[in-house]
Chain A
Amino acid sequence: MTKTVVDVHHLEKTYGKAGERPYTALKGLNFSVAEGEFVGIMGASGSGKTTLLNMLSTLDTPTKGDVIVNGHDVTKMRGNQLSDFRAQEVGFIFQDFNLLESLTAEENIGLPLALQGTPSKVMDQAIQAVAATLSITDLLKKYPAQLSGGQKQRVAAARAIVHQPSILMGDEPTGALDSTSARELLDLLTTINRDQHMSVLLVTHDPFSASFCQRILFIKDGQIGSELKRGELDRKDFYQQVLTELGTFSE
């Protein structure tokens, strides 16, 4: 029996202040992610993908339900616990990179470790190791403004995994990349998932990106509409299956 990294029960999120007409983005979601799994979450705009990811990463709070990440019930956390949770348990890759342009690539990658007070020698080793994995060693001294989109996203990925989080979350990480860079990044994520046995949760509306996952959850109107497992399928065949599913799903 493998360990569960993410466990979501009856998750609900309703927006709107008192007196206004409420809008329910998530309506009782249930799912879990096992350790080392590569899971994709798909859905059209407005289906609640980003809302879900924000709940998982504690950037937003659910109205009802539980979110348990690596044994921590994030809905019960407050203040600094939330920040520390994000800093230690979650690695995040964003569509718009979220790199600090006042810092070099190296300093950006080192940030999560610096926050934990890691000794600088250990930090340097960790940065070098992760840079080698992502082949960005020669970019370390550069500032984000000097990097291309694909390079920036690899730096962001390095920052997301340098502190060995229990789960790596990606919010449309290929959204701002050209197709070559996107493919490179997805290959890298697959490598990280396979070699480091790190769980990956990818939110996307792009079937190509999703075809790299082992399992895909389709969200529609705030609920899980269907689920697709890759099993032993080849990635290309799985891509076709995703496209077919999307075709029937959206009707």
Chain B
Amino acid sequence: MLTKLALAGVKNRRRDYLVLLAGLTMSAAIFYMFANLATNQAFIKANAVVKSASVVFGFGAVLLALITIVYIMYANSFLLSMRQHDYGLFMMLGAKRRRVGQLVFLETLILGTIATAIGIVLGIVVSKLLVGFLLDQLGLHLAHLTSFYLPAVLFTAVLYIGLFILASLFNLTRLMRTTVQQLLHADQQANQPKSRPFRQFILGLIGIGLLAVGYWALAAIEQLQMTAIPLALVTITLGTYLLFHAAVLAVIRGLRRTTWAKKRLNGFLLGQLNFRVHDYTRMLTIVSLLFAMALGAITVGSGYHRQMPMTADSLGAYTVAVHDANAHQKRLIKQLHVAHQATYTQKVQGKTTYYNAAELKAQPFQLIKSMQSSANGRPHFYTEPLAKFKTSGATQLDFIMLNPNKLGDFAAPKIVSATAFKQLKGATYRVTTVRVKHMADDLTVLKQLDHSEQRRFPQTASQLTIGTYQSFEMMNGIFGGLEFIGYFLGIAFLAMLASCLMFKILSGAPGDLRRYAMLNKVGVRRGLMRGSLAKEIGILFAIPGIMGVIDVLFGLQMFKPLMGKPMSPYLGIGTTFAIFIGLYVIYYVITLGLYLNLVMPRDVARD
């Protein structure tokens, strides 16, 4: 009978349960996707050219597990806050505590198991789509990346079910300890935080100090090595918590004394925030860290994505070299944004390639200055007089690699006078070198051009590259994994953090439902209530957001050693930030929509 009642209770609140189930499913899906990458040894071995990648994955996995625990805790408290009134009622009607306890345990576990199962399936599907999409967008190819990986499935299932068993036990003990009265009236109690200004001030100062230590640790990653990250994690977490605790409450208290607080619903808004923020400090801290990590990961990922062509730009004097360009290649060259173009005649005898001195004199071969000597970080090009070129520029790899003889061995190129060149026998080629303004603008055309050239003149020596486009492709192979991890982690963290915040906020809905019903009776306009709610939730979203942005701005210091000149972790972060914040705002709007739906009093029907 009690089981029937419980089921009926679930049915009546199916909308709330759907929100909960959807959130948990998403969390499980994200975790699976990450576990799929992190535990797939073949994938890591094949792609982790950078040694620290496995460390990154290790940290990522631990972090994600911790976040998952917190996430399930919040989801669980949302569940309990929805159900405790019903459970209290059952007990008041004479149901045995033990029996109700069994119900709670089962309900949590069943919900968790369903969410995990759907989540893993969803994770596999989304892995397939997202990984495909990301790789496509980034122009990467990663070996051994599959969407279904059994150990990851098992890992996710064990962790989640384990956590849900813990959550069930937690609910059980909570229920056993609370009195029926408390269960029935849980949402009517509100704790008003005590104010201890001096203590808060000191704690706030300590918080700022800890944050400073954390930020310094990130900047000094070269000296501190691997200790920097755990040190920063601990100090920034604690610092953020203390700062929020002290500063936000102090600001709200201060505002409450102003006349602004006496206008319309402002006082109500501040009152709400006052006891919310107190209760939310821990969650806001976690969310701000998650925000920072998500944004940081995406910024670094997109930094690599944007800056790799730029770095490649500064690696050589020309982007591509084409021999005896055919009609197709000529068309392609016309589509490029050319900065410099030159064509030379070559004659090949055995292993040696000959050049016409007259041609080189009329159209000197451009060389690139080494990065150390260029001041502004932009590549600098120059030419040499022919006499000097013969001994200096002609010995540089850029010039040597122009030979069409890529298949076999080759000797140093020779420059001969025009008459001598005319009398030379051997195959004649006309090589065109093209340097584009910004490789990033011409990547697709360059790719086609490079492919068609490679089909005509196959290379065996793959470790040597011809032109900066090929250098770029090689770098992509090395750093592409990092870039991918950056994007992937960023999206995963964002999804997690927003759901955390969403649940925490939604779990306050039952209490707010009554408050807004009261306001409605007192005669507060609907628009005013909506506005107040939008502000309240907006502020709860904004606090960790702002803190997260600050964290990232400092945290990017950490990547300075990994992104040497001319790359910089700070370059072009504006767009990345804008896109990320855009996504965050979408989450805010969704949360607000759900919340309005849950707490706004229904319109009085007018006949």
Checking A94, A100, A117 against B268 with a beta-carbon cut-off of 8 angstroms, the contacting residue is A100
Q: Indicate if the CB atoms of B524 and A87 lie closer than 8 Å.
A: yes
Q: Indicate if the CB atoms of B523 and A115 lie closer than 8 Å.
A: yes
Checking A57, A80, A112, A118 against B525 with a beta-carbon cut-off of 8 angstroms, the contacting residue is A80
Residues of chain A contacted by B265 (CB below 8 angstroms): 114-115
Interface residues of B in 501-527 (CB under 8 A from A): 515, 518-527
Q: Indicate if the CB atoms of B523 and A90 lie closer than 8 Å.
A: yes
A82 at the interface (CB under 8 A from B): yes
Q: How far is the CB of B281 from chain A (nearest CB, A)?
A: 17
- A87 to B522 CA separation, bound complex (whole angstroms): 6
Q: Indicate if the CB atoms of A87 and B523 lie closer than 8 Å.
A: yes
Q: Indicate if the CB atoms of B271 and A107 lie closer than 8 Å.
A: yes
Q: Indicate if the CB atoms of B267 and A98 lie closer than 8 Å.
A: no
Q: Indicate if the CB atoms of A98 and B521 lie closer than 8 Å.
A: yes
B136 at the interface (CB under 8 A from A): no
Checking A83, A99, A101, A120 against B526 with a beta-carbon cut-off of 8 angstroms, the contacting residue is A83
Name, among A61, A115, A120, the residue most crowded by chain B CB atoms within 10 Å (CB to CB).
A115
Checking A78, A90, A94 against B606 with a beta-carbon cut-off of 8 angstroms, the contacting residue is A78
Q: Indicate if the CB atoms of B266 and A59 lie closer than 8 Å.
A: no
A145 at the interface (CB under 8 A from B): yes
A30 at the interface (CB under 8 A from B): no
A84 at the interface (CB under 8 A from B): yes
Q: In this complex, what residue of A is CB-closest to B260? A: A120
B66 at the interface (CB under 8 A from A): no
Checking B271, B525, B606 against A100 with a beta-carbon cut-off of 8 angstroms, the contacting residue is B271
Q: Indicate if the CB atoms of B259 and A120 lie closer than 8 Å.
A: yes
Residues of chain B contacted by A92 (CB below 8 angstroms): 521-522
Q: Indicate if the CB atoms of B522 and A59 lie closer than 8 Å.
A: no
Q: Indicate if the CB atoms of B605 and A88 lie closer than 8 Å.
A: no
A110 at the interface (CB under 8 A from B): yes
Q: Indicate if the CB atoms of A120 and B604 lie closer than 8 Å.
A: no
- A80 to B530 CA separation, bound complex (whole angstroms): 13
A231 at the interface (CB under 8 A from B): no
A246 at the interface (CB under 8 A from B): no
Q: Indicate if the CB atoms of A80 and B522 lie closer than 8 Å.
A: no
Q: Indicate if the CB atoms of A145 and B190 lie closer than 8 Å.
A: yes
Residues of chain B contacted by A110 (CB below 8 angstroms): 262, 267
A102 at the interface (CB under 8 A from B): yes
Interface residues of B in 583-607 (CB under 8 A from A): 604-607
Residue-wise, chain B 265-287 has the 8 Å CB interface mask toward A (1 for contact) of: 11110011011000000000000
A73 at the interface (CB under 8 A from B): no
Residues of chain B contacted by A90 (CB below 8 angstroms): 523
- A52 to B366 CA separation, bound complex (whole angstroms): 93
B192 at the interface (CB under 8 A from A): yes
B11 at the interface (CB under 8 A from A): no
Residues of chain B contacted by A60 (CB below 8 angstroms): 604
Q: Indicate if the CB atoms of B264 and A103 lie closer than 8 Å.
A: no
Name, among B259, B266, B522, the residue most crowded by chain A CB atoms within 10 Å (CB to CB).
B522
Residues of chain B contacted by A82 (CB below 8 angstroms): 604
Residues of chain B contacted by A59 (CB below 8 angstroms): 521, 604
Checking B264, B515, B519, B606 against A117 with a beta-carbon cut-off of 8 angstroms, the contacting residue is B264
Q: Indicate if the CB atoms of A111 and B267 lie closer than 8 Å.
A: yes
Q: Indicate if the CB atoms of B268 and A102 lie closer than 8 Å.
A: yes
Checking A88, A94, A103 against B271 with a beta-carbon cut-off of 8 angstroms, the contacting residue is A103
Checking A63, A111, A118, A123 against B522 with a beta-carbon cut-off of 8 angstroms, the contacting residue is A111
Residues of chain B contacted by A100 (CB below 8 angstroms): 268, 271, 515, 518-519
- A155 to B268 CA separation, bound complex (whole angstroms): 16
A230 at the interface (CB under 8 A from B): no
Interface residues of A in 97-155 (CB under 8 A from B): 98-104, 107, 110-115, 117-118, 120, 123, 143, 145
Q: How far is the CB of A88 from chain B (nearest CB, A)?
A: 7
- A110 to B259 CA separation, bound complex (whole angstroms): 12
* Size bracket, chain A contacts: 35 or more
Q: How far is the CB of B518 from chain A (nearest CB, A)?
A: 5
Instruction: Using known A-B contacts A110-B267, A114-B265, A145-B190, determine if residue A102 contacts B272 with beta carbons closer than 8 Å.
Output: yes
Q: How far is the CB of B605 from chain A (nearest CB, A)?
A: 7
A19 at the interface (CB under 8 A from B): no
Residues of chain A contacted by B607 (CB below 8 angstroms): 61, 63
- A113 to B190 CA separation, bound complex (whole angstroms): 24
A79 at the interface (CB under 8 A from B): yes
- A81 to B271 CA separation, bound complex (whole angstroms): 27
B188 at the interface (CB under 8 A from A): yes
Q: In this complex, what residue of B is CB-closest to A83? A: B525
B388 at the interface (CB under 8 A from A): no
B392 at the interface (CB under 8 A from A): no
Checking A57, A61, A99 against B605 with a beta-carbon cut-off of 8 angstroms, the contacting residue is A61
Q: In this complex, what residue of A is CB-closest to B274? A: A102
- A103 to B259 CA separation, bound complex (whole angstroms): 15
Q: Indicate if the CB atoms of B271 and A83 lie closer than 8 Å.
A: no
Q: How far is the CB of B519 from chain A (nearest CB, A)?
A: 8
A86 at the interface (CB under 8 A from B): yes
Q: In this complex, what residue of B is CB-closest to A81? A: B525
Name, among A78, A100, A159, the residue most crowded by chain B CB atoms within 10 Å (CB to CB).
A100
Residues of chain A contacted by B515 (CB below 8 angstroms): 100, 102
Name, among B188, B274, B275, B523, the residue most crowded by chain A CB atoms within 10 Å (CB to CB).
B523
Residue-wise, chain B 333-372 has the 8 Å CB interface mask toward A (1 for contact) of: 0000000000000000000000000000000000000000
Residues of chain A contacted by B328 (CB below 8 angstroms): none
Q: Indicate if the CB atoms of B190 and A143 lie closer than 8 Å.
A: yes
- A61 to B188 CA separation, bound complex (whole angstroms): 29
Q: Indicate if the CB atoms of B521 and A115 lie closer than 8 Å.
A: no
Residues of chain A contacted by B199 (CB below 8 angstroms): none
Residue-wise, chain B 393-430 has the 8 Å CB interface mask toward A (1 for contact) of: 00000000000000000000000000000000000000
Q: How far is the CB of B278 from chain A (nearest CB, A)?
A: 11
Instruction: Using known A-B contacts A61-B606, A61-B607, determine if residue A114 contacts B523 with beta carbons closer than 8 Å.
Output: no
Residues of chain A contacted by B460 (CB below 8 angstroms): none
Q: Indicate if the CB atoms of A88 and B523 lie closer than 8 Å.
A: yes
Q: In this complex, what residue of B is CB-closest to A123? A: B262
Checking A78, A101, A117, A159 against B190 with a beta-carbon cut-off of 8 angstroms, the contacting residue is A101
- A115 to B265 CA separation, bound complex (whole angstroms): 7
- A14 to B449 CA separation, bound complex (whole angstroms): 79
Residues of chain A contacted by B267 (CB below 8 angstroms): 103, 107, 110-111, 114
- A79 to B189 CA separation, bound complex (whole angstroms): 32
Q: A63-B607, A101-B188, A103-B267 are in contact. List 14 more A-B contacts (CB 8 A).
A: A83-B520, A83-B524, A83-B525, A100-B268, A100-B515, A100-B518, A102-B190, A110-B267, A111-B268, A113-B262, A115-B265, A117-B264, A120-B259, A145-B190
A-B contact pairs, 21 of them (CB 8 A): A57-B521, A61-B607, A63-B607, A78-B606, A80-B525, A87-B523, A92-B521, A94-B521, A98-B521, A100-B515, A102-B268, A102-B272, A107-B268, A110-B262, A110-B267, A114-B262, A114-B263, A115-B524, A115-B528, A117-B263, A120-B259
